[in-house]
């Protein structure tokens, strides 16, 4: 037990070192790619928070949009500094998620799928229709974050400082969501998914937990939206529409949703493939489409289920890398 | 008075269009429990077929539409065999697979014919017709064409052995075998018919709307709304829903704008789903 | 800011001795999506310009010769993509100037481009602002020429009293509506319909029905996206509107797309601002370009976009030669220092301080065209500076711009 957690820690430290070194090694344009990668990781992992209760919320990407719009309005129109607008925007997204989850608390399965889609789409249509204050089809311009006013070298309009900002926020969010996953609430979520009747008979208010999951997931989606908005300096309603939702679904199904790292794997692997194929950028969606169909046919559990399918017992693969004597 | 007549005419066109798209989608869901999100792309392929044959190669218009129907029907068959069959009735998996198909078809069309400017398709029958309002024959034929296609479908489902088997399997997959038809066969047939209708819609709409690789995007959401409210799998219900939403959309667009129309449609569906959480879907599966 | 010039292409032929350096210019425009017709054809004209310049050895900047390369980026008309494109073109490709369509994309990309002092040429004058000193419009006079069109229509069609303006609800469409409305008002024509339509619109029947219900003598589609224009005209024709007392007016159309939907005869008399370059009233140079384009792109649809981006390149070349350098800032200063600059339609002057805050718009005499037998023919020339000189006109323009929130 201790050995595997030592390995995990070592692996984590290695990953951190790599992440810190990377932006200085690659070109400016690629740094932005890494930043977006992290944003998408937050999006995918927060999506999984909701799927652990069994719900596939197609309102998730619009929740990211909610965070983006909230920060655009707060930091743009109201001049609220980034430190406050980010958590506040996340809160707004979370509250909207809560608002959506209430009428949908009794819908399940396919009906929930469709209804969440409708709710998200309705929100998006509001952004399109109401030019005041959402900017309509053109969207809104978002100021680059002014975090440490007056300090020139920490200009977050530049790629590398923004990368590190995103890195810090991402690590923080992942830590919280992981904590959530392994604690009591997390296991309750999973029980609701796998043994709903049992949970109910134990007196657990399943509807309330589902609502909680949707709220928390939406909050983090909102945070992802904030990070996106302050890097792209502009948001449009089409960024949070159907196409992006489809990509999210592909990442998450490809990676798998049972383990915490499944969605992360999905985002990272597919994004890297997409970036490697940049000379053939037109073909990337088709590649994704083929990959996801093949995944569902041959590896329906997603990438995360690969070790068990090949026959490697979980954990042994990593244990081979580092041996630390357990005293 | 002319204004009202014009509006009714516009509403009739819109309802026909919705009905053609939604009924196909509904049929597929009822029989196979698959929501084919690539249905919009099937519609797009139908439009492109007509563009190539009618606008570029000068084939007669209805022949081009006929070919579009066949082409997309076969596309549906192939998709069923290669892809959807493997979902084994799992709604979520089937949906994700159709998402993959969406990407594949979009990129294929972009690579073959390019993205960029939309393809203009001339009207085959630009003569003006006055019937409650003014429109071109090209737009007007949408209405009788829809009546004929849906009517034929209805007749087929009611009066032919295979058709009745199909309708039975929409109620209960096992029931199809009572008619001597394997679930596989009924899935293939449903997919062929449903997709063919999407192809018909695309072909007929090509001279009316803009033809471009992402045109499916614009229709799939409304189709969704229509079949959910009408009851996926329930042909009659889908038909009624098409009419209601067709007129609703037209009226709201005339007086307000199309975004509000979309919004209203979406909210209607949302409210209905919230009130009946078990869903209006006739055969919901977890 | 230091100017980085990418090293030229080294060949193994004799040319190695004379290997010219290459300078890159970015083409950051919609190459797909609803506004593709305002970006894609631009590459056609640009390619002809490139061939001519490069086969003559390149452009002369001081005592150096440079070959020119265009790096294109499809921003789909979307703001955030335009910024991504700008970042890539400036940071990775090291372009020294940028060609853009403008509109919503400028709002997002300009802070970055201004910071890096990249000279940007757009086709939309209303993008010009004091906050963006390096953004210039040296070819298209949108939306200024709508004022001139209205003046011409009032003169040519004295019986026309009412106008309906049908444009989409985005920065470009709203600018078209505002300036067209000002022009009509100044010319004594009442604007009876000016509601912008949603970009999501796929069916134009109800919209045209609503517009025609106001019984307009003139239908103006300003700078509506070309595909939409074709569908709008189709509806107008179908629903029985005819240009009896007035006419149609539009700025940037795709004539092929329109005549696929309406009989060509119905478009006779339509007023616009862009002649075909084989028009007898234009110069030899114009005719040459037209012939070259026809030879290379037979069957393609002509529009002003084909030559406008290349027009920007012509002005850039003029600036480079004056400045003796390809440095963005130096070229800009050289251009502004010139009292008149050769525009595709003749000598132009800088204007814009009163309305935009800075005079970065190049204004020449602008042609007015009327369609005759499916071809736009030059029927008049008008000069905006004359229109501007009348104080009554100025007053109406300011009022209308304020009404549509184009001006504080």
CB contact under 8 A, A109 and B91: yes
Q: Do residue A226 and residue A272 come from a single domain? A: no
Between CA B14 and CA B12 the distance in angstroms is: 5
Q: Is the pLDDT of residue C14 over 70?
A: no
E strand map for chain A? 140-141, 234-235
The string of pLDDT tens digits covering residues C317-338 is 999 999 999 999 999 999 999 9
Q: Do residue A285 and residue A156 come from a single domain? A: no
Residue A312: pLDDT band (50, 70, 90) is low
- Select the residue of A109, A118, A288 nearest B103 (Cβ to Cβ): A288
C83 contacts in chain A (CB < 8 Å): 232-234
Cis omega before residue B18 (within 30°)? no
Where is pLDDT greater, at C46 or C92? C46
Question: Fold for domain B2-285?
Answer: ABC transporter involved in vitamin B12 uptake, BtuC (1.10.3470)
A288 contacts in chain B (CB < 8 Å): 100, 103
CB contact under 8 A, B96 and A292: yes
- Select the residue of C79, C84, C87 nearest A138 (Cβ to Cβ): C79
Q: What is the mean pLDDT of residues C32-44?
A: 85
Its domain, for residue A307, covers 243-254+262-327
What's the pLDDT at B174? 66
CB contact under 8 A, C79 and A128: no
By the 10 Å C-beta count (0-12 exposed, 13-18 middle, 19+ buried), A17 is classed as: exposed
Torsional class of A150: left (φ above 0), alpha (ψ -120 to 50), beta (otherwise)? left
* Nearest-Cα residue of chain A relative to residue B261: A125
- Select the residue of A29, A128, A232 nearest C80 (Cβ to Cβ): A232
Residue B173: pLDDT band (50, 70, 90) is low
CB C260 within 8 A of CB C229: no
DSSP letters spanning C51-86? HHHHHTT-EEETTEEEEEEEEEEE-TT-HHHHHHHH
Q: Given CB atoms, is B112 within the 8 Å cutoff of chain A?
A: no
User: If interface means Cβ-Cβ distance under 8 Å, which residues of chain C face chain B?
Assistant: 31-34, 36-37, 40, 197-198, 200-203, 205-207, 209-210, 213, 226-227, 230-231, 234, 238-240, 254, 256-257, 260-261, 263
What's the pLDDT at B219? 86
Q: Do residue A55 and residue A118 come from a single domain? A: yes
The string of pLDDT tens digits covering residues C252-311 is 888 888 888 888 899 999 999 999 999 999 999 999 999 999 999 988 888 889 999 999
Q: How many CB pairs under 8 A join B and C?
A: 87
Among the residue ranges A7-21, C144-158, C189-203, the one predicted with the least confidence is A7-21
- Select the residue of B91, B266, B273 nearest A107 (Cβ to Cβ): B273
Taking CA atoms, B95 is separated from B34, B36, B251, C39, C396, in Å, by 6, 6, 32, 36, 57
CB contact under 8 A, A125 and B228: no
Q: How far is C112 from chain A (nearest CA, A)?
A: 9
Residues near A135 by beta carbon (within 8 Å), at least 6 away in sequence: A127
What's the pLDDT at A7? 75
DSSP letters spanning chain B? -HHHHHHHHHHHHHHHHHHHHHHHHHHHHHHH----TTHHHHHHHHHHHHIIIIIIT---HHHHHHHHHHHHHHHHHHHHHHTGGGGTT-HHHHHHHHHHHHHHHHHHHHHHH-SSSPBP---S---EEESSSEEEHHHHTHHHHHHHHHHHHHHHHHHSHHHHHHHHHHH-TTHHHHTT--HHHHHHHHHHHHHHHHHHHHHHHTTTS-B-TTHHHHHHHHHHHHHHHH-TT-HHHHHHHHHHHHHHHHHHHHHS-HHHHHHHHHHHHHHHHHHSTT-S-TT---
Q: What is the mean pLDDT of residues C360-389?
A: 92
Q: What is the mean pLDDT of chain C?
A: 88
Q: Is the pLDDT of residue A88 over 70?
A: yes
Q: What is the mean pLDDT of residues A157-184?
A: 89
Residue C3: pLDDT band (50, 70, 90) is very low
A237 contacts in chain C (CB < 8 Å): none
DSSP three-state, residue A119: helix
- Select the residue of A128, A136, A234 nearest C79 (Cβ to Cβ): A234
DSSP three-state, residue C361: strand
What's the pLDDT at B1? 60
List chain B domain ranges. 2-285
What's the pLDDT at A154? 66
Q: Is the pLDDT of residue C249 over 70?
A: yes
Between CA B212 and CA C36 the distance in angstroms is: 11
Q: Is the pLDDT of residue A298 over 90?
A: no
Q: Is the pLDDT of residue A252 over 80?
A: yes
Q: Do residue A135 and residue A247 come from a single domain? A: no
- Select the residue of B115, B210, B262 nearest C32 (Cβ to Cβ): B115
DSSP letters spanning C268-335? TT-EES---TT-TTS-HHHHHHHHHHHHHSTTPPP-HHHHHHHHHHHHHHHHHHHHTS--HHHHHHHH
Token output for C132: 């963006």
What values do phi and psi take at C345, rounded to 5? Answer: -100, 10
Q: Is the pLDDT of residue C408 over 70?
A: no
Q: Is the pLDDT of residue C87 over 70?
A: yes
Bridge partner list, B159:
none
Q: What is the mean pLDDT of residues C29-56?
A: 89
Token output for C90: 């400036």
The string of pLDDT tens digits covering residues B255-274 is 887 788 889 988 988 888 77
CB C128 within 8 A of CB C135: yes
* Nearest-Cα residue of chain A relative to residue B115: A282
| A5 in a structural domain | no
User: If interface means Cβ-Cβ distance under 8 Å, which residues of chain B face chain C?
Assistant: 3, 6-7, 10, 13-14, 115-118, 120-123, 126, 128, 133-136, 139, 209-210, 218, 250, 253-255, 257-259, 262
CB contact under 8 A, C200 and B258: yes
What's the pLDDT at A263? 93
Between CA A180 and CA B282 the distance in angstroms is: 37
Q: What is the mean pLDDT of residues A173-188?
A: 90
Pairing of strands C64-74, C21-29: parallel
Between CA B229 and CA B266 the distance in angstroms is: 10
Q: What is the mean pLDDT of residues B107-121?
A: 80
| A78 in a structural domain | yes
The string of pLDDT tens digits covering residues B25-77 is 988 888 877 888 899 999 999 999 999 998 888 888 889 999 999 999 999 99
CB contact under 8 A, A27 and C92: yes
CA atoms within 13 A on the CB side of A42: 31
Q: What is the mean pLDDT of residues A121-128?
A: 91
* Nearest-Cα residue of chain B relative to residue A55: B286
CB neighbour burial string for A132-144, b if at least 16 within 10 angstroms, e if fewer = eebbbbbbbbbbb
What values do phi and psi take at B256, rounded to 5? Answer: -120, -105
Q: Given CB atoms, is B256 within the 8 Å cutoff of chain A?
A: no
What's the pLDDT at C16? 38
DSSP three-state, residue C96: coil
Q: What is the mean pLDDT of residues C94-108?
A: 91
Which residue, A127, C337, A293, is CA-closest to B96?
A293
What's the pLDDT at C253? 86
**Beta-sheet strand order (sheet of C162-165):** C190-193, C162-165, C218-220, C248-249, C271-272, C365-372, C375-383
The string of pLDDT tens digits covering residues A89-109 is 999 999 999 998 888 887 777
Q: How far is C261 from chain B (nearest CA, A)?
A: 6
Taking the CB of residue C195, how many other CB atoms lie within 10 A of it?
A: 14
| A25 in a structural domain | no
What's the pLDDT at A97? 93
Cis omega before residue A133 (within 30°)? yes
What's the pLDDT at B172? 67
Q: Is the pLDDT of residue A46 over 60?
A: yes
Q: Do residue A132 and residue A192 come from a single domain? A: yes
Q: Do residue A65 and residue A100 come from a single domain? A: yes
Q: Do residue A48 and residue A167 come from a single domain? A: yes
The domain boundary, picked from A191, A206, A240, lies at A240
Between CA B52 and CA B55 the distance in angstroms is: 6
What's the pLDDT at A310? 67
Which residue, C201, C224, C225, C205, is CA-closest to C213?
C205
Q: Do residue A282 and residue A184 come from a single domain? A: no
Is ipTM > 0.90 here? no
What's the pLDDT at A322? 36
Which residue, C206, C163, C166, C223, is CA-closest to B256?
C206
Q: Is the pLDDT of residue A245 over 50?
A: yes
Q: What is the mean pLDDT of residues A123-143?
A: 85
DSSP three-state, residue C140: coil
- Percentage of chain A beyond pLDDT 90 is 35
CB contact under 8 A, C84 and A137: no
Q: Which pTM value belongs to this model?
A: 0.82
In this complex, which chains have at least 3 CB pairs below 8 Å with chain C?
A, B
Find the helix packing angle between C205-212 and B2-32, rounded to 10°.
Answer: 170
The number of domains in chain A is 2
A293 contacts in chain B (CB < 8 Å): 83, 97, 100-101
Q: Is the pLDDT of residue C9 over 70?
A: no
Helices and strands, counts by H and E, chain C = 14, 16
Quick one: CA dihedral C317, C321, C326, C331, positive or negative? negative
C263 contacts in chain B (CB < 8 Å): 126
What's the pLDDT at A3? 62
Between CA B76 and CA A212 the distance in angstroms is: 40
Q: Is the pLDDT of residue B278 over 60?
A: no
What values do phi and psi take at C114, rounded to 5? Answer: -65, -40
Q: Given CB atoms, is A234 within the 8 Å cutoff of chain B?
A: no
- Select the residue of B116, B135, B257 nearest C40 (Cβ to Cβ): B116
CB contact under 8 A, C209 and B10: yes
| A1 in a structural domain | no
Q: How many CB pairs under 8 A join A and B?
A: 122
Residues near A33 by beta carbon (within 8 Å), at least 6 away in sequence: A271, A275
Q: What is the mean pLDDT of residues B216-233?
A: 84
Q: Do residue A233 and residue A148 come from a single domain? A: yes
Q: Do residue A295 and residue A234 come from a single domain? A: no
CB contact under 8 A, C107 and A27: no
Q: Do residue A283 and residue A143 come from a single domain? A: no
CB contact under 8 A, C112 and A233: yes
Separation of first and last alpha carbons in chain A: 12
By the 10 Å C-beta count (0-12 exposed, 13-18 middle, 19+ buried), C339 is classed as: exposed
Between CA C274 and CA C302 the distance in angstroms is: 10
Q: Do residue A140 and residue A188 come from a single domain? A: yes
The string of pLDDT tens digits covering residues C341-364 is 999 999 999 999 988 999 999 999
What's the pLDDT at C19? 54
């Amino acid at each position: 037990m201790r050995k595997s957690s030592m390995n995990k820690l070592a692996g984590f430290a290695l990953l951190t070192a790599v992440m810190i070194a990377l932006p200085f090694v690659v070109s400016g344009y690629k740094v932005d790619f890494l930043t977006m990668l992290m944003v998408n990781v937050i999006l995918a992992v927060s999506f999984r928070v909701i799927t652990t209760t069994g719900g596939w919320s197609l309102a998730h990407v619009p929740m990211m949009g909610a965070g983006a719009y909230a920060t655009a309005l707060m930091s743009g129109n109201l001049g609220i500094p980034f430190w406050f607008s980010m958590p506040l925007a996340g809160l707004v997204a979370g509250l909207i998620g809560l608002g959506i989850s209430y009428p949908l608390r009794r819908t399940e399965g396919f009906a929930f799928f469709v209804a969440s889609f409708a709710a998200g789409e309705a929100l998006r249509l509001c952004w399109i229709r109401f030019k005041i204050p959402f900017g309509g089809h053109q969207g809104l311009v978002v100021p680059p974050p002014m975090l440490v006013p007056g300090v020139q070298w920490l200009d977050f309009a530049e790629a590398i400082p923004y990368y590190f900002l995103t890195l810090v926020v991402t690590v923080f969010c992942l830590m919280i969501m992981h904590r959530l996953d392994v604690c009591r609430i997390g296991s309750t979520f999973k029980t609701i998914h796998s043994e709903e009747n049992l949970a109910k008979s134990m007196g657990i208010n399943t509807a309330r937990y589902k609502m909680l999951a949707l709220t928390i997931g939406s909050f983090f989606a909102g945070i992802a939206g904030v990070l996106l908005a302050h890097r792209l300096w502009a948001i449009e309603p089409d960024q949070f529409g159907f196409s992006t939702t489809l990509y999210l679904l592909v990442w998450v199904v490809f990676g798998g949703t049972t383990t915490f790292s499944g969605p992360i794997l999905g985002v990272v692997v597919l994004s890297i493939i997409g970036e490697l194929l940049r000379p053939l950028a037109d073909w990337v969606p088709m590649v994704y489409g083929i990959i996801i169909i093949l995944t569902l046919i041959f590896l329906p559990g997603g990438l995360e289920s690969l070790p068990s399918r090949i026959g490697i017992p979980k954990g042994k693969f990593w244990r081979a890398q580092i041996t630390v004597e357990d005293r | 008075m002319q204004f009202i007549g014009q509006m009714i005419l516009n509403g009739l066109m819109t309802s026909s269009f919705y009905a053609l798209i939604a009924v196909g989608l509904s049929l597929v869901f009822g029989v196979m429990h698959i929501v084919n999100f690539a249905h919009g792309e099937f519609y797009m392929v139908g439009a492109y077929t007509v563009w190539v044959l009618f606008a570029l190669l000068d084939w007669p218009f209805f022949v081009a539409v006929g070919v579009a129907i066949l082409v997309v029907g076969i596309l549906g068959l192939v998709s069923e065999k290669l892809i959807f069959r493997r979902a084994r009735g799992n709604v979520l998996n089937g949906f994700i697979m159709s998402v993959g198909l969406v990407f594949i078809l979009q990129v294929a069309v972009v690579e073959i014919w390019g993205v960029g400017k939309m393809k203009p398709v001339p009207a085959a029958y630009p003569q003006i017709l006055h019937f409650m309002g003014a429109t071109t024959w090209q737009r007007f034929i949408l209405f009788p064409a829809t009546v004929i296609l849906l009517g034929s479908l209805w007749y087929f489902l009611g009066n032919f052995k295979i058709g009745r088997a199909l309708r039975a399997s929409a109620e209960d997959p096992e029931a199809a075998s009572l008619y001597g038809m394997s679930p596989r066969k009924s899935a293939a047939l449903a997919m062929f018919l449903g997709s063919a209708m999407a192809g018909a819609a695309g072909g007929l709409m090509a001279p009316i709307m803009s033809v471009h690789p992402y045109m499916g995007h614009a229709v799939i959401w409304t189709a969704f709304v229509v079949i959910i409210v009408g009851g996926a799998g329930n042909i009659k219900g889908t038909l009624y829903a098409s009419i209601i939403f067709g007129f609703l959309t037209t009226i709201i667009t005339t007086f307000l704008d199309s975004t509000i129309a979309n919004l209203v449609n979406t909210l209607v569906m949302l409210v209905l789903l919230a009130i009946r959480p078990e869903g209006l879907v006739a055969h919901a599966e977890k | 800011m230091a100017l980085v010039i990418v090293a030229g292409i080294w060949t193994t032929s004799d040319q190695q001795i004379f290997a010219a350096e290459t300078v890159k210019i970015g083409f950051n425009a919609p190459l797909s999506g609803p506004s593709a017709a305002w970006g894609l054809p631009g590459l056609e004209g640009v390619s002809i310009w490139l061939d001519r310049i490069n086969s003559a050895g390149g452009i002369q900047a001081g005592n150096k010769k440079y070959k020119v390369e265009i790096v294109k980026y499809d921003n789909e008309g979307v703001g955030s993509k335009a910024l991504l494109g700008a970042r890539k073109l400036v940071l990775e490709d090291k372009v020294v100037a940028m060609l853009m369509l403008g509109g919503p994309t400028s709002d997002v990309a300009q802070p970055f481009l201004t910071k890096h002092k990249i000279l940007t040429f757009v086709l939309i004058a209303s993008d010009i602002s004091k906050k963006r000193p390096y953004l210039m419009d040296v070819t298209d006079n949108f939306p200024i020429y709508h004022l001139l069109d209205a003046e011409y229509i009032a003169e040519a069609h004295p019986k026309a009293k009412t106008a309906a303006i049908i444009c989409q609800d985005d920065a470009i469409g709203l600018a078209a509506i505002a300036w067209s409305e000002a022009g009509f008002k100044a010319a004594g024509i009442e604007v009876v319909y000016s509601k912008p339509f949603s970009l999501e619109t796929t069916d134009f029947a109800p919209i045209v029905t609503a517009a025609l219900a106001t019984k307009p003598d003139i239908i103006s589609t300003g700078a509506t996206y070309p595909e939409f224009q074709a569908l709008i005209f189709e509806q107008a024709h179908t629903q029985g509107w005819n240009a009896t007392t007035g006419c149609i007016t539009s700025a940037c159309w795709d004539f092929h797309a329109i005549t696929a939907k309406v009989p060509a005869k119905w478009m006779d008399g339509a007023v616009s601002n862009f002649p075909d370059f084989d028009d007898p009233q234009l110069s030899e140079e114009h005719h040459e370009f037209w012939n070259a384009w026809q030879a290379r792109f037979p069957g393609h649809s002509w529009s002003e976009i084909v030559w406008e981006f290349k027009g920007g390149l012509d002005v850039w070349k003029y600036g480079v030669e004056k400045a003796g350098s390809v440095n963005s800032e130096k070229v800009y200063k050289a251009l502004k220092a010139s009292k008149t600059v050769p525009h595709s339609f003749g000598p132009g002057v800088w204007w814009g301080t009163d309305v935009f805050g800075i005079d970065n718009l190049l204004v020449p005499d602008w042609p007015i065209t009327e369609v005759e037998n499916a071809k736009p023919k030059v029927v008049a020339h008008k000069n905006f500076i004359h229109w501007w000189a009348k104080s009554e006109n100025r007053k109406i323009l300011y009022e209308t711009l304020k009404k549509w929130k184009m001006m504080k």
